Amino acid sequence: MKNSKFNVGKTYLLGFGFLGISIIWALYNAYVPIFLKETFHLGSSVIGIIMTIDNIFAILLLPYLGALSDKTRTKLGRRRPYILIGAPLAAIFFILIPFANIYQNLGLMMLTIILMNLSMSLFRSPVIALMPDITPSQYRSQANGIINFMGGLGALIVYFGGKPLYDKSISLPFIVGGIIMFIASLMVVIFVKEPEIDGQEESKKISFSKSFSALMENIKDVVKGEKSLFFILLSILFWFIGYNAIETFFTSYAKYYIGIKASTGALILGFFALTFMLTSLIAGKIGVKLGRNKTIRIGLVIVTSIMVLSMFFHSLAILITLFVIGGIGWAFVNVNSLPMVVDMTTLEKVGGYTGLYYFFSQAANIIAPPLSGIFIDLFGYRSLMLFSSSFFVLSIITMLFVKRGEVVEENPS
């Protein structure tokens, strides 16, 4: 990397891409399960399977598209062409979801969901890979903190602003969310200039064979390389199983078990997102001071504790308090995990390793909804918190075997 300085302003601009993506997924996870249950009368296990469609696309496409963007050479750079293609399509299909629901046609609903998820998969790895592209190693935790702050802001917009919009019309949050995501992605394309990479002008064509070879090389690193990479990815798998179960079913848990409105359940998640967003700005600095691994483990203990306590306390005030604390722990985990993964490789392979990060996180999100849905069908919604906390405990154990991924010192060139 030619520039060893940390550009805070550019990082905030890049964060708009993450803000837009977070808005889409927060709305999708909060309300699509409600549509599927109330309009189409589907069981929780079936809803869980449907909610993994985005993750199936992600696990199949994101590692490949990350490696593909590493090999892409255009006048716009390596990452931005994917944003220009994927973001507009994703916004259109996302806006159409509530209208498909109104027609009460499951086939139309499924087609809209599938096309929206496919479009999102086209640009998620490239837009996230821009962070390590423009940020030296020693600042990546701080940069990821800013990006997660912006992502938390996006979720916050949904959980607090989405409630009055949804109560007025179920289509309004989707229309507003789709428009914001498109504008935010466009801001990244316009204002974030990618750094020059060796061989920038060598090829104007995307080489699919080279990107596939790069993907295979990255997978070999996981299987046969130093075990820290394997264990950090396994930890990511476990903690995202725990988190995604809550993200997918908490609004249903709130409505059908606690006995409050689904929109109120989304509001509780909003307090989680609020403290996540605020803590993200300092979680990266804490990761540098204490070490990323130790900071992640502290965060996992915090999140596990609030999930366990949530099994016993159901008053709105206590749940809000617990989720406020949980957001702090989740920031410690999320802000420092991606920098750990990308700092186990070189700049030329950052996109591919970003894809590996998403491969394992999305694999978790494929496993979590149907598996937690089966538990709910068998044992009721009360099993949700026990299911989630068990996987957070597993992630704490596997993090003990991670020995690499701390800050890599870089000399200014």
- In tens, the pLDDT along 129-156 reads 788 888 887 788 788 888 878 887 887 7
- What global pTM score does this model have? 0.71
More confident residue, 67 or 161: 161
| pLDDT at 162 exceeding the cut of 80 | no
| pLDDT at 407 exceeding the cut of 80 | no
208 and 68 Cβ atoms separated by less than 8 Å: yes
pLDDT band at residue 192 under the 50/70/90 scheme: confident
Distance, CA of 173 to CA of 238 (rounded, Å): 31
**SS3 label, residue 119:** helix
pLDDT digits over 219-231, tens only?
Answer: 666 666 668 888 9
Tokens of 193: 């200039």
Give the whole-number percent of the chain exceeding pLDDT 70: 87
pLDDT digits over 45-67, tens only?
Answer: 788 788 777 777 777 776 677 76
| pLDDT at 394 exceeding the cut of 50 | yes
Q: What is the mean pLDDT of the chain?
A: 83
Tokens of 277: 């967003």
More confident residue, 189 or 216: 189
Question: Angle at CA 305, nearest 5°, toward 300 and 310?
Answer: 130
pLDDT reported for residue 412: 38
pLDDT reported for residue 257: 85
Distance, CA of 308 to CA of 323 (rounded, Å): 12
pLDDT reported for residue 346: 62
CATH 1.20.1250.20 assigned to domain 10-189+220-399? The reply is: yes
CB atoms < 10 A from the CB of 400, how many? 11
